[in-house]
Structure 1
Amino acid sequence: MRQGLVLAGLLWLGSCGSVLAQQADSEQLASEIKVVNAPEDKAIAERLSNITGAISGLEGVEISVTAGVITLQGEVANAQLKNEVAAIANRLEGVVHVQNQLQEQLAVRSRLAPAAEKFREMLGTTVQMLPLLLVAILAVVLFAMAGSWLAKRNVLLRRFGLSELTTNLGMRFIRLLVTAIGILIALELLDATALVSAVLGVAGVIGIALGFAFRNIVENYLAGVLLSTRNPFAIGDLIETDGMTGKVMLLTSRDTVLMTLDGNHVRIPNSQIITSPMTNFSRNPMRRFEFTVGVSVELDLLLVRQLAISTLQAMPGILAEPRPRVLVLELGDSTVNIRILGWIDQRETDFLKARSEAIRLVKTAFDEAGIEMPEPIYRVNMAQTDPHQREKPKPKPKHMPAVAVHAEPAVDISTDHSIEEQFNDELRQSAEENLLPAVSDKTAGKKRD
């Protein structure tokens, strides 16, 4: 029974396989290309010959057609034309197969022929567009000349109180803007506005690269613009910034040049000046000096204060208002430190000379009055066995004897012009562009007087 079922199943599978094979054969027959009213070989050859004759570079192709099989012979300029003519032949109706026997031309003359043809086409196009090209060039030249003319008319920006560097930067921007407008008009006349996007994209990439490469230069330039606009100092001002002190000589687009008090030149980047604290000693003609003196703890500080003030008041060059002052600074181990302050007019009195002379006069007055200015000392008390043998302390004077301030020989405390003379000589010999406004002779004379 079981063997019968297996035999029946095998017979059924065999019948199904024969049915599927018949269906596959019928589908294969249906997919076959049926040639009905196919064009004759002569018609195919004429059609392909007309096509190749109309394409430059395919005039020498030889075509033969036999039973729908196309044979291509001859020479073409390059492999691209060889592939193109074969693709065209395959698309023709009635073509069964294409035998591509074309050869590429290897002669130099044949290779240069397409390039020469393109050059002739470009030359012909240029000749046709020559009047329009001349108009475009004329537009660029006219707008460039207009930009240069406007760049020289900086009176409007000067009226706003802008500095020379800011004015020059604004004029350059105006000139570039006007010239760019002329270039855009020229490109519009030549119908090449698509080039603008490419140029702007390339300019943006180049600008980013240059920005990273010249970051410090750009920072110093912008800092120079801000310094020339804010005017925190002028030529000849004595300033101190970042631990460096000197007179301002030049402000360039990159750095600031100082002449130190010992005659040396210091170049400080503008970005460093604008980001660092700066002290200008020349803006206020009055300047205060100070120094500290240590006196004995046993002295009457009121009398010491009165003597120091009277000494400074009698000194030439010290201003009566604001008047000199003496302040008790601190109480040390063996001294009382006092700070002595006095004011001078820098236009008439040299700061360093006045301070030096004030220290000398105060010390002389203290020495004559018997005011002790001790160094740090240590006091040792020795214990005695007999209390009756101990010495009794002497009474301290309640009042200090009056000390007259004697007239001292005249000491030169006038302003020192040695640095000023070197400064003016260097300023006259310098060929660098100075962004600071020049100091007039009248103003310079007031500073020296």
Structure 2
Amino acid sequence: MAIFSKPARITYTCYELGHTWTPSCKKASIDVLLVVFKESLKIYGTLYMIAVLFQRKGKEYLKSKLWKEVLQSSLFLSTNGMLFITFFCVWRKLLGCHFYLTTFFIPAVMASFVALLLERRSRRSMLAFYMANVALETAFRMLVFRGIITPVKHGAVWLFSFVSAIYLCLFRNNSLPAASVSAFKFLVGPDELPSTTLVEVRSSLPNQGQVEEHWLWKTQPIRKIVTWLKRCPKHDLCQHFNGCAFYITQGFLRNFSIGYAVQCGIKLLSSARSPRAALTSLVHKQNFYLGAFLGCYSAVFRGVNCLLRWLRNHDSSLHGLLAGFLAGWSMLWYKSSTVALYAATKLAERLYFKGIEAGMLPYIKCADIIIYSISTGFVFHTAMMEPHNLRPAYWSFLNRVTGSRIGTVNRRLLEKLSPSAAKMLPNFWPDYDPRFTNLVRPSIIDDS
């Protein structure tokens, strides 16, 4: 991109530009280390406890491994933050000034590379994948902001639908890794898997009758409707036990309930400061939107597969293409460029590994460390130079994990390198110690 070719430079000190809360480079690094480590303990402690509940890990893990993994991940993240400040200061001292790339991008790449070596190997690829997604979305926002590209109406939905089509075709052909198969079995059920695979899946499940006798089906007058739906016809090639109408309805209600419950939980955690706020969060419209998205996704996928069997009197994994594409449009209920991009990059990763298995693509050693370092460097660079182009949720995360120190960068001084650097915080000016700088607050800044 053209933004990386600017030859301009600025000569401000690292105190004036970066760690504006203290003139000491060493103290700035230690301050960031401590605040990030403290927040990391909270974040990873919560995330790992949730993983314990969902994965049902035993007491031995809680006693011997949980605290070690929380500490290791916290050390990784806090080291990333500390080294970012450290390398920022080192490059300033080496060059005597700040250039576009050496100000934030190169220090962030170096810091991320070293920090990731401290994290467990099993988490490195996941972190690289996550940051690559954030970087791609950030790059897209930058291109839109510069007017280089124009967003397509429902672009995220189109992308998600195409990705969903390929994924569900592979799912119907049982050509996905075990983790992906499990995810789609959860989303749309196992009944569209190949018959030989389905037999293995069902043998590991409880009695099918018990699975279907959910409490919802036992209440009156729903029981009569359920009985009627179960008795509706199904095609001979359909592998589900009951009628097609019941199969489709069951998928919708199950996923709608899950989506509604998940969004309710999120709302309760973020707004349960009073009984009234908690009650309001239970009936928030976003709860219905996520439920409708997940419910319609399952129902449309199941319904299209059943319909194609009735129309063609033939079953094929290629039915998953059309069914997956149409199911993807359920995202109209809950538009999310993050989810769409995540699904797309995950598919690209899967196709890349298939290319490696086929001998068509090379295997790149340490690819996870390289991808993480460059992606994180790009995102950190953007957070400093033009935070308005960062995903709002990620900007909030950076503020939280750094104790809002990322917002104290004097972006007014960066405008020579990036003209829109102060767009998000146009009136901010640090409270400098006059013993260490001659900079004074410009009169054009409005303190209000």
Structure 2 length-normalised TM: 0.20
Question: Which has the higher Rg, Structure 1 or Structure 2?
Answer: 1
Larger proportion of helix: 2
Larger proportion of strand: 1
Structure 1 length-normalised TM: 0.20
